[in-house]
Chains A and B, each alone.
Chain A
Amino acid sequence: MYKVHWALALLISLVAACGAPGTAIAPSRTPVAVTAGLTLRPIANIAALLLEPLELRGLVDQPVDVVRSESGEQRARQVLIGVGGVEVLRVESALDGSLRLIAKSGVALDGGALSESAAIARALRHLVRLGLEMPGGGPAVQSAAGRTLVIWTRQVRGVPVLGDGTRVVLNGSGALVGLAIDESPLAAPPARIARGDAALRAAAALLPIGAFVGGSPELAWVLPTDGASEGSGQRTPRRLAWCVGGALRDGAAFELQLDAGSLVLLGWDGAP
């Protein structure tokens, strides 16, 4: 299947690179464009929803290319460049056409502070305006560097899939900085899930002298071998794991991820 996707991706890149000059930035009358057999929402249409008319002037589009995301997914990438070669808007879609990422550059650093409810409302409004699926459940809201992040973590039967879901980033006045939608493949869950207290004992057995586990273990879908190998960049299926927290002798926090069935170590994370 991946080979088919890569062949398709190559074909798209070749056709896009060798194709006729780009069309005007004016939004297309059709909601989708078919490029070498791939159905994509034209970036000009998305730009028309997100940018002021004056901001659209002088933008140039780059040929569609295929990239691999940080999570390892193959994506078709569309980019608009402004004056001086500065990227203004980037749109990435999965090869089935589903929108995965919108990133605007240079969004104003407004000093306003959004309340949590206002941030959620603005994030939902952006999703509706862009015709995207409404995520289920309540989001987490966090501020970082003058931006507000509204994050709906994907849940499968009540268990979070770490890193998956819908993430909307806003500036201080609620304007969209970007959004991302991630959905990773999941491995089959174990036939029998080990008990939480067994996970605590298994984790404690792995620790050096002076370190201890603490709190209650929690189930989550995690990317295996995150701490110990180069696996995180690949499209590796998430595995169901018990996440056990604790502290080392010097007080530094850590988390061990153990396979929910076999309690084999899947990954490690620490806080410097």
Chain B
Amino acid sequence: MVGAVLLAAAITLAPPSNDAVVFANRTAFAEECTGTVNTQPDRLARQARTALAALGWEVGGAVGPAFTRRSMLASAVASALYVHSHGDLYWDSKSDSRVGGFRADSGLCLGAPIILPSEIAAMRRGASAASLVYISSCHNGERASRLPAAFGIAQRKVQGSGEPDSFYVGYIGTAWQGAALRFEQAFWRGLLDGATAGAAFDRALLVAYDPEHLTPEWWGGYGHRPHAPAAGLPDLGGQRHV
């Protein structure tokens, strides 16, 4: 009995890993699907990979056709995760409601497989809440999206006491890639400058993205610093005390 309780506790309190994953859909935005050359998915993914690596994470994932439903779900247990793809409030027949989610790449212009929050939640059963989740797609910053919950992040903003060690970023409504590129660049830059996730988000609101093309949203702890557990705090050397 005691053994079973300890085992359950060990599973429930599994320590966060140092694994981060970055997935980006390239095919759906490529020339053969849209008619024009578009390097934005690669640039968005590269920004995320570079920043997460600098924050101490071991970064995996896939950009392009290797971003499949299977590869993504196999990595869903990661502690930090970035996805750029088509997103929507997709229908989940299990819950009989629209729940959010995003499409894989799978090398398809249209009709790529959809990854639903319930599938991610099932893969993450027993894992601690993710440290940082960035869903760079349409609609997954909306209240109706259950993706934050799938990663163990409640849809509330906490500042001060009782902040969770988690931060989720998504977009409300339609999110344009050009605006996302600017916003995300500033967000990552803020984190690398040593800002907390909430402060980095605030700073990103100041960059020159078109507000009609992007409505960012966040949930979690304003003061959370999403560096890998094994990594130290950023070096803020050089400061002058007065």
Contact = CB atoms under 8 A, between A and B. Distances in A.
B97 interface: no
A74 to B, nearest CB: 15
B6 interface: no
Interface residues of A, number: 71
A106 B203 CA distance: 11
- Which range holds the interface residue count of chain B? 35 or more
Interface of A: 17, 21-25, 59-63, 70-71, 81, 85-87, 90, 101, 103-109, 140, 142, 144-147, 149, 151, 162-165, 167, 169, 177-180, 182, 206-208, 211, 226-230, 232-233, 248-250, 252-256, 265, 267-272
A272 B87 contact: yes
B5 interface: no
B242 A248 contact: no
B80 to A, nearest CB: 20
B206 A208 contact: no
A177 B241 contact: no
A217 to B, nearest CB: 16
A248 B233 CA distance: 45
Contacts of B216: 144-145
A71 B208 contact: yes
A109 B37 contact: no
B241 A60 contact: yes
6 contacts: A17-B238, A146-B157, A227-B36, A227-B40, A248-B33, A270-B177
A230 B241 CA distance: 39
Contacts of A21: 240-242
B218 A63 contact: no
A190 to B, nearest CB: 21
